[in-house]
């Protein structure tokens, strides 16, 4: 009987941990995003205070045009063959950074950990 209770308690703690970490992953508490080009952070932007802006990030002669609008950020257009980064749209989750593999560009929430490494396209 005691063992059953222990197992139940363990299961409850485990479930709470899984739900808790999923919640943390999917709901960014901070609005700070890093724009990373070739592994180097070129811009750190606080979306909660950022003014609307369009800027370009260049890598190897190819540019990505990044748009900040209404406290959101996206890749507006890009000189890359697949345009995956453009199709990803607005950055919404720290679990899903915007990545342009050909141009080595990553846009992610600053509190995301290991998001870049998880990408294998
Ligand atoms: Zn791209």
Query: What is the distance between the alpha carbons of residues 86 and 90, in angstroms, rounded to a whole number?
Result: 9
Position of tokens 């139940």? 8
Residues 6+ apart with CB under 8 A from 55: 43, 65, 66
Q: How far is the CA of 64 from the centre of ligand 1 (A)?
A: 7
Q: Provide the terminal-to-terminal Cα distance of the chain, rounded to the nearest Å.
A: 49
Q: How far is the CA of 81 from the centre of ligand 1 (A)?
A: 7
Query: What is the distance between the alpha carbons of residues 67 and 70, in angstroms, rounded to a whole number?
Result: 10
Q: How far is the CA of 2 from the centre of ligand 1 (A)?
A: 56
pLDDT at position 98? 97
Dig out the tokens for 32 from the structure.
């700070």
pLDDT digits (tens, 9 = 90+) for 37-94: 999 999 999 999 999 999 999 999 999 999 999 999 999 999 999 999 999 999 998 8
Q: How far is the CA of 70 from the centre of ligand 1 (A)?
A: 22
The pTM assigned to this predicted structure is 0.68
């Amino acid at each position: 009987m005691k063992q059953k209770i222990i197992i139940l308690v363990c299961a409850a703690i485990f479930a709470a941990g899984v739900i808790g970490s999923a919640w943390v992953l999917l709901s960014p508490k901070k609005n700070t995003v890093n724009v990373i080009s070739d592994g180097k952070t070129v811009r750190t932007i606080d979306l909660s205070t950022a003014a609307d802006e369009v800027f370009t990030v260049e890598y190897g002669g190819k540019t990505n045009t990044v748009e900040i609008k209404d406290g959101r950020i996206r890749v507006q257009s890009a000189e890359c063959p697949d345009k995956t980064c453009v199709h990803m749209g607005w950055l919404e989750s720290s679990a899903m950074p915007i990545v342009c593999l050909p141009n080595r560009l990553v846009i992610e929430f600053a509190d995301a950990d290991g998001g870049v490494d998880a990408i294998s396209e």
